[in-house]
Amino acid sequence: MWRRKFRTFLTIFGIVIGIFAFTVMGSMALKLNRMIDGGKQYITGQISVSPKGSSYESVGGTLPVNTLNEISQVEGVKAVGATVSLTVEEQDLDNASFSMGPVPTIYGSDNQSEFKNRNWETMGMKEGKMLDKNSPDNEIAVGINIATDKKLGVGDTFNIRGRDFKVVGIVDKTMTGPDDYVFMNIAPAREMLIASNPFMKSLYDKGGLKLEDVNSMAGVSWKDGADSEVVSQKIKDQFGDQVSVMSPVKMGEMIDKASATMNSIILGSALLALIVGLFSIVNTMVMSISERTKEIGIKKALGASPRSIAWEYTLEAGVIGLLGGAIGLGLGVLAATILNNQMASKGGEIFLLEPNFLIGVVVFSFVIGIIAGVIPAIRASKLKVVDAIREL
């Protein structure tokens, strides 16, 4: 009896680990997918133009205002909106820290431009208002994670890189990039970007760089009825030697491919843990049934039908799966919540706990138990009574 209990405990523990891994990794995948979806929506809502040689949203050069003006003249282009982005905290490579999840980012945009991302025309606001054409340079709107982390409300002052800004709006939770953004006018963002880069700074001080030429990226919107791909191609044809052009469709495909690979890695490793758990239930049930051969024999002698025997032991395996699943899920949710709370102060949550997913996990663990139990249970139901009773 004791041995059996201990073994059942070990099996449940195995399932707990499997389901724990599945819950945590699944929630991480969900969160990443949500972020990627948000990013995808954004990136497929505009043609993104960046300086040649730089990667997305990193500072590798600047887009001169003349180039942007010329791009706005390309056939099919509706408007061009320049943006400057840089991290909220000054980067200190001497004390670099690795952080998972998004980094708080300053997003300076040219609010005078007519440009609007087709998929994100306006941002929902939790409090206050978004910046507009008339916003002065010292006003900012912040994403929900920044507001929570720095305990900011509308009217508060937020010091970024030595400058004081007044918070006029807090953006609703988007579950993606903007949650960690500080929205401001492009001018102060440009100044901060120059200040952060000694090379740009000396060039600027000597008059070799104009403020308006400092643009880390630009979004291009197309006219209604124009084909985004055709417009992208035209920009590429004319300015391909100066800028990189990312067309919505191509970027969308690229993102899909990347997220599919990532999902299969994450879910694959979690599934592996589950398969180990599955075999451990099979093992336990086989052992448990061979240990209870006599008990099964008695039940059959008393007139138990093969079906009721099979059902009984299958259900037992299901319950083992369910129990392990419930505990594993609980631990997984607990771990994800604790990590989320800790991460929130370092740049955002990395787990998304979706009710549907969690319910699915519990059901799944029960089904796994049933699957693992069904073969040993059918074997049990076919035991010959005479042999079974003789044993022991």
Of residues 114 and 295, the one with the C-beta less far from another protein: 295
Q: Using CB under 8 A, which of the segments 18-26, 175-183, 213-221, 298-306 binds another protein? A: 298-306
The residue from 286, 304, 319, 358 that contacts another protein (CB under 8 A) is 304
Does 6 help bind another protein (rule: CB under 8 A)?
no
Of residues 358 and 389, the one with the C-beta less far from another protein: 389
Residues 307-326 that bind another protein (CB under 8 A): 308
Of residues 358 and 385, the one with the C-beta less far from another protein: 385
Q: How many residues bind another protein (CB under 8 A)?
A: 16
Residue 295 CB neighbours (<10 A): 12
C-alpha Rg value of the chain to the nearest Å: 30
The residue from 203, 254, 272, 301 that contacts another protein (CB under 8 A) is 301
Of residues 12 and 77, the one with the C-beta less far from another protein: 12
Q: How many CA atoms lie within 13 A of 18 on its CB side?
A: 30
Q: Using CB under 8 A, which of the segments 34-42, 64-72, 246-254, 299-307 binds another protein? A: 299-307
Task: Map residues 51-70 to x or -, x wherever contact with another protein holds by CB under 8 A.
Answer: --------------------
Does 391 help bind another protein (rule: CB under 8 A)?
no
The residue from 124, 208, 306, 360 that contacts another protein (CB under 8 A) is 306
DSSP reduced 3-state for 164: strand
Taking the alpha carbons at both ends of the chain, their separation in whole angstroms is 15
Residues 150-179 that bind another protein (CB under 8 A): none
Of residues 359 and 386, the one with the C-beta less far from another protein: 386
Distance CA 285, CA 303 (A): 23
Which amino acid, one-letter code, is at 207? Answer: G
**H or E segment to which residue 194 belongs:** helix 186-196
Does 302 help bind another protein (rule: CB under 8 A)?
yes
Does 300 help bind another protein (rule: CB under 8 A)?
yes
Of residues 301 and 338, the one with the C-beta less far from another protein: 301
Angle between helix 293-301 and helix 248-291 axes, rounded to 10 deg: 70
| Contact (CB, 8 A) for 180 and 107 | no
Q: Using CB under 8 A, which of the segments 116-124, 148-156, 301-309, 366-374 binds another protein? A: 301-309
Backbone angles phi, psi at 245, to 5 degrees: -115, 125
* 303 dihedral zone (left: phi>0; alpha: psi -120 to 50; beta): left
DSSP reduced 3-state for 50: strand
The residue from 175, 287, 298, 319 that contacts another protein (CB under 8 A) is 298
| Contact (CB, 8 A) for 140 and 183 | yes
Contacts of 160 (CB under 8 A, 6+ apart): 88, 106, 140, 182, 192
The residue from 99, 112, 305, 342 that contacts another protein (CB under 8 A) is 305
Residues in the chain: 392
Q: Using CB under 8 A, which of the segments 28-36, 58-66, 118-126, 290-298 binds another protein? A: 290-298
Residue 184 CB neighbours (<10 A): 26
Q: Using CB under 8 A, which of the segments 87-95, 113-121, 267-275, 300-308 binds another protein? A: 300-308
CA dihedral 269, 274, 279, 282 (to 10 degrees): -170
Does 378 help bind another protein (rule: CB under 8 A)?
no
Distance CA 250, CA 356 (A): 31
Of residues 31 and 300, the one with the C-beta less far from another protein: 300
The residue from 175, 267, 375, 385 that contacts another protein (CB under 8 A) is 385
Q: How many CA atoms lie within 13 A of 279 on its CB side?
A: 5
Which pair of tokens denotes residue 169?
Answer: 């709006």
Least gap, CB of 388 to another protein (angstroms):
9
- Residue from 104, 110, 112, 106 nearest 196 by CA: 106
Least gap, CB of 282 to another protein (angstroms):
22
Residue ranges binding another protein (CB under 8 A) = 1, 294-295, 298-306, 308, 385-386, 389
